[in-house]
Amino acid sequence: SSHGSTLLEVRSLRKTFGGIVAVDDLSFEIREGEVFGIIGPNGSGKTTVLNLISGLYQPDRGEIVFVGHKITGKAPEEIARLGIARTFQLVRIYPALTCLDHVTPAALFAGHARSLSDAREQARQLLEELGMAAYVHVPAGQLNFIDQKRLELARALALRPKLLLLDEWLAGLNPSEMLIGMELIESLRGRGMTIVLIEHLMQAVRRLCDRCIVMSFGQKIAEGLPGEVLRDREVVRVYLGE
Ligand code: ADP
């Protein structure tokens, strides 16, 4: 697959929490249009990387450059406005609010709407595109799990991001929902979205990712095509726990 120029560059990133080195001298690049996987055992630093990219944490060392802007040190809102959106490992919904009311603020924030009703219309269209036309006015608390996940995705996409960060977005889905979820991610890729995904299911990594890195104790221990990386002896050793 032919992918474009560098969209995001992570350079020698380090993050510690007390005595724990969560991310250790980590560098990688994400190219426009690719689906980039971050895999590794629990506690290897994957979520911390997303938190650093989205500005929730500040690194101790290193920098992150997004389309020519150094984003390290910027606030999460600023980074979102520059075009990086994310979903969280645990869905963050307000049970009493309708789906439309979840997505509309993000559409307003993105700044492409002329008015509140325009933002609501954009939000409605996005929900429809994600297969949620029937739930536009339904309170989020009444949705089943995959639809709550879709809602989170809609909220992230309403920001019209250039880069979408998915933190175990497929986790907790049953096998048939998983297929729907993977198709959804593929359709986003088909529309040119650049995606970083943290994923535990190797089947999903193989199917979805153009490239991936493997982390262990905060460090990158492998990088490349999923098929190659998942055969790597060091990677197998880390996963099997020796
Ligand atoms: P992963 O996403 O690969 O499971 P994390 O990035 O969540 O790993 O965690 C990496 C390490 O950093 C773990 O040892 C974890 O306990 C620690 N850690 C992550 N976030 C915090 C935090 N906010 N405070 C203290 N320790 C943290």
Mutation choice for ligand 1 from 15, 20, 168, CB with most ligand atoms inside 8 A: 20
Q: Once rounded to an integer, what is the mean pLDDT over residues 221-235?
A: 89
55-78 per-position pLDDT tens digit? 999 999 999 999 999 999 999 999
List C-alpha distances in Å: 102 to 95, 123, 227: 10, 9, 38
ipTM: 0.98
CA distance 19 to 238: 22
Torsions phi, psi for 127 (to 5 deg): -60, -40
Chain center to CA of 62:
21
Cα first-last separation, the chain: 35
**CB-based pocket (< 6 A), ligand 1:** 17, 20, 22, 40, 42-48
Mean of the pLDDT values across residues 124-128? 96
**Domain 1-83+162-242: which topology?**
Rossmann fold (3.40.50)
The predicted-structure confidence for 4-27, as pLDDT tens digits, reads as follows 799 999 999 999 999 999 999 999
Q: Quote the mean pLDDT of the chain.
A: 93
Half-sphere exposure at residue 80, Cβ-oriented, CA atoms within 13 angstroms: 19
Q: Report the Cα 51 to chain-centroid distance in Å.
A: 10
Alpha helices by DSSP H, listed for 130-191, are 145-157, 175-190
Q: What is the pLDDT of residues 147-199, one digit of tens each?
A: 999 999 999 999 999 999 999 999 999 999 999 999 999 999 999 999 999 99
Which residues have a Cβ under 8 Å from the Cβ of 57 and sit 6 or more positions away?
15, 48, 51
Task: Report the pLDDT value the prediction gives residue 239, as an integer from 0 to 100.
Answer: 77
Dihedral (C-alpha) 79, 81, 83, 85: value to the nearest 10 degrees? 70
What are the residue ranges spanned by the domains of the chain? 1-83+162-242, 96-160
Asked whether the whole model's pTM tops 0.90, one would answer: yes
